[in-house]
A = this chain, B = another copy of it.
Amino acid sequence: MRLGELSERSGVSIATIKYYLRERLLPPGRRVTATQAEYDESHLRRLRLVRAMIQVGRVPVATAREVLGHVDDESLGLTMRLGAATWALPQPEDEVGDDAAAASARGTLDALLAELGWDTAREIGDLSPVHRGLVTAIATLNRLGFPLSLDELVPYARHMGEVAAHDLDLLETRPPGSEQVEAAVASAVLYDPLLLGLRRLAQEVESARRYGIT
């Protein structure tokens, strides 16, 4: 198919597709002549994934390019590709600072990982953006005057641990290959709003149950 059809089938404007091609979010089509190229179903799938990452997942274009680079890196195993993609995903940009709040947050997180036996994560330490993002989040809550104790944090972590296990269960039902990696990215990016939405909904329901609708 050509650019026009790709645009029509995906609902993305031609100008935007050209932009994504320029930004290398979408691999170039197979060149037919000097001024024409042919696209296939994989381009359509990739385009939809890009759109989902950017629009639903709020992932910046530059970051999306990086993540997709890891998705396409066939020299890595599943775990590493998943990890690489996760690694590149957007974190609540630092601005941590080394104040007391940050130090306390680091301590809390360390204790949490020890408590749960998540030693893999502890070894990686604060090199991981995920780890740093968590420190930032806890530190911010400290600064705001809503400190999180270990006891309050552990139940959250346990639930998210089970969610993660369920994530991987679902991933295993996919045929291995790039579809599995794409599913991993979709899971990382698109399940976020899903889970948060479910939490909000549950909060409303629970609040109504406890206090009535006043």
Q: A79-B207, A162-B159, A163-B159 are in contact. Are A201 and B56 (CB under 8 A)?
A: no
**Contacting A205 at CB < 8 Å: which of B121, B187, B205?**
B121
Neighbouring B residues of A134 by C-beta, 8 Å: 194, 197-198, 201
* Segment touching B, from A32-40, A66-74, A139-147: A139-147
Q: Are B168 and A206 in contact (CB under 8 A)?
A: yes
| Residues 72-88 of A contacting B (Cβ, < 8 Å) | 77-80, 82-83, 86
**How many interface residues does chain A have, given as a range?**
35 or more
> Which single member of B83, B124, B203 contacts A167 (CB below 8 Å)?
B203
Q: Does A133 contact B (CB under 8 A)?
A: yes
Query: Given A92-B56, A141-B186, A198-B134, does the pair A166, B161 have CB atoms closer than 8 Å?
Result: no
New A-B contacts (13) at CB < 8 Å, excluding given A82-B207, A161-B198, A161-B205: A55-B92, A77-B214, A79-B213, A79-B214, A80-B214, A118-B201, A120-B205, A133-B193, A144-B182, A160-B198, A168-B206, A168-B210, A196-B196
